[in-house]
Amino acid sequence: MNKSAIEIEEMIAHLSRVVDDLSDVVARQERELASLQRRLALLMEREAEREAAEGGGIPLADQKPPHW
C-alpha cells in the first residue's frame, strides 16, 4: 500500500504530538515520584524518631519483615 507524501506527513505530525504528550506525562510522573519519595523519607524518619523516643528496640524502618 503506497501512501502519499501528505498522508506520511500527517502520520509523522500525529506521532510527534503523541511523543510530546507522552514525554510530558513521563516528566510529570518523575516529579510526582520524587515528591512522594521525599515525603516517604520524612515519614520514615519521623516514625524512627517516635519509636526511639518511646524507648523501642530496633526502629521499624530497620526491622526485617516477619517472613524473613
| 2-54 pLDDT, tens digit each | 889 999 999 999 999 999 999 999 999 999 999 999 999 999 999 888 888 88
- Kindly state whether residue 68 falls inside one of the protein's structural domains: no
* pLDDT confidence of residue 63: 67
Q: What is the pTM (predicted TM-score) of this model?
A: 0.61
* pLDDT confidence of residue 54: 84
- Kindly state whether residue 46 falls inside one of the protein's structural domains: yes
- Kindly state whether residue 26 falls inside one of the protein's structural domains: yes
User: Could you give the CA distance from residue 1 to residue 43 in angstroms, rounded to a whole number?
Assistant: 59
- Kindly state whether residue 2 falls inside one of the protein's structural domains: no
Q: Which amino acid is at 30?
A: E
- Which residues form the domain of 23? 18-52
Average pLDDT, the chain: 88
User: Could you give the CA distance from residue 30 to residue 24 in angstroms, rounded to a whole number?
Assistant: 10
Number of domains in the chain: 1
- Kindly state whether residue 27 falls inside one of the protein's structural domains: yes
* pLDDT confidence of residue 61: 62
| Alpha carbon 29 to its chain's center | 5
